[in-house]
């Protein structure tokens, strides 16, 4: 009988050790990159605009109501952004900090940040109107960050961190939705094709600039079907109450031009991965087949009427839907964190496919 209890004790101990090893292995997930650096607009801005003199902010409730501790951070959604979720999927911290946040210092410098600014775009005119950070200023802030990285950790660590990091840019929606299609001066100056080329020229300069700073893995996020955003339907197609097909066609054609640009310039960056990351197809599928993904509402956001509210129009006095997880959009312009999670999973799969493909580098 004593031997039976000893054997039982050994089995229990063995199971405990196996479980402990499994938990340790799970907790020590190997990151696929040293850091994540992102640039662009409100889809990736975790609060940089909090530190700017602009009305384009989300540092108040109900933004962030489903964030840890229910704290608004400046993220234009109810919880985490797609970049927070991508960072976690990549084996990095599950919250990507804002580069302008005073708390972004010390060891946090080593795993990346967002340099993006809500309402920013590829065109300077898109950003200047609302006093947010244009793309060139975002890159300048990255250079300042890199200098700080060198100062604190030395050239070798800084160069290794940057060279092994993932860089990503997500922009363009504000250029069209909040500039070209509402500003008669912009439309008078450019045809839609000329404006697209202007944005592509800015994107090309961005790629060159981050390459000069040591980037070796660069992801270019395409445009979403912005004609299906609740605000765009309300402003431009309220009678039919359906997606603005013209806008979606512009997004599709611009995405095709991004892919063509990447193929054209790739030989200029030997050994560098430049990848196109699609979000159009997944978001369009979610909007057209919401129940497949557990959603019920696609026409309006969770905040207020959901038809036009964003930024200060979505505020502590706004009526909020009962269950944001059933909504594709949080406000009239930005997805819920639940929708972002689905898109993040899809983008991460694309990223892994590019990284693991030996044919993607020259």
Other beta carbons within 10 Å of 143: 13
Peptide bond preceding 162 in cis form (omega within 30 of 0): no
| DSSP 8-state class, residue 71 | -
Give CA angle at 142 (136, 146), nearest 5°. 145
Catalytic pick among 34, 42, 87, 117: 42
Cα–Cα distance between 333 and 284 in angstroms, integer?
A: 14
Q: What are the φ and ψ backbone dihedral angles of 327, each rounded to 5 degrees?
A: -110, 135
Q: Which bin fits 73, alpha (ψ -120 to 50), beta or left (φ > 0)? A: alpha
Q: How far apart are CA 60 and CA 4, in angstroms?
A: 62
Q: Is 41 a catalytic residue?
A: no
Given 41, 84, 175, 331, the catalytic residue: 331
Structure tokens at 280: 């159009």
Q: Containing H/E element for 173?
A: helix 173-175
Distance CA 66, CA 38 (A): 23
What six digits make up the tokens of 271? 């050994």
Residue 36 has φ and ψ, to the nearest 5°, of -125, 125
**235 close to 156: Cβ distance less than 8 angstroms:** no
SS3 label, residue 358: helix
Does residue 231 have an active-site annotation?
no
Q: Tell me the C-alpha distance between 192 and 169, whole Å.
A: 22
234 has catalytic annotation: no
The rounded distance, in Å, linking the Cα atoms of 52 and 240 is 38
- Dist CA 169 CA 114 (whole Å): 10
State how far the Cα of 97 lies from the Cα of 81, in Å rounded to an integer: 11
Neighbours of 270 (CB within 10 A): 8
Q: Among 175, 202, 278, 334, which one carries the catalytic annotation?
A: 334
Q: What are the two backbone dihedrals, phi and then psi, of residue 142, each rounded to the nearest 5 degrees?
A: -65, -40
Catalytic positions are 42, 331, 334
């Amino acid at each position: 009988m004593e031997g039976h209890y000893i054997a039982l004790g050994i089995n229990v101990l063995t199971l405990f050790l196996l479980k402990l090893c499994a938990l340790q292995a799970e907790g020590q997930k190997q990151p696929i990159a040293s850091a994540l650096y992102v640039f662009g607009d409100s889809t990736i801005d975790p609060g940089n605009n909090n530190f700017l003199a602009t009305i384009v902010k989300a540092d108040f409730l109900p933004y962030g109501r489903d964030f840890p501790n229910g704290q608004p951070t400046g993220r234009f959604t109810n919880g985490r952004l797609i970049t927070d979720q991508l960072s976690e999927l990549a084996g990095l911290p599950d919250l990507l900090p804002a580069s302008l946040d005073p708390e972004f210092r010390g060891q946090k410098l080593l795993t990346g940040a967002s340099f993006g600014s809500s309402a920013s775009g590829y065109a300077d005119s898109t950003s200047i109107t609302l006093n947010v950070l244009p793309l060139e200023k975002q890159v300048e802030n990255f250079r300042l960050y890199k200098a700080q990285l060198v100062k604190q950790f030395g050239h070798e660590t800084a160069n290794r961190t940057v060279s092994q990091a993932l860089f990503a840019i997500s922009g363009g929606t504000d250029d069209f939705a909040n500039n070209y299609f509402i500003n008669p001066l912009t439309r008078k100056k450019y045809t839609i094709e000329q404006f697209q080329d202007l944005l592509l020229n800015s994107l090309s300069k961005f790629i060159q600039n981050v390459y000069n700073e040591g980037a070796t893995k660069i992801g270019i996020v395409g445009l979403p079907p912005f004609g299906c955003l609740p605000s765009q339907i309300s402003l431009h197609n309220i009678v039919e109450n359906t997606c603005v097909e013209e806008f979606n066609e512009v997004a599709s054609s611009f995405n095709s031009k991004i892919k063509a640009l990447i193929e054209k310039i790739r030989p200029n960056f030997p050994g560098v991965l430049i990848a196109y990351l699609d979000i159009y197809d997944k978001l369009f599928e979610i909007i057209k087949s919401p129940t497949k993904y557990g959603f019920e509402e696609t026409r309006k956001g969770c905040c207020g009427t959901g038809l036009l509210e964003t930024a200060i129009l979505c505020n502590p006095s706004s009526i909020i839907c009962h269950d944001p997880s059933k909504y594709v959009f949080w406000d009239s312009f930005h997805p819920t964190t639940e929708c972002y999670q689905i898109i993040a999973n899809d983008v991460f799969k694309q990223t892994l496919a590019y990284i693991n493909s030996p044919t993607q580098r020259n």
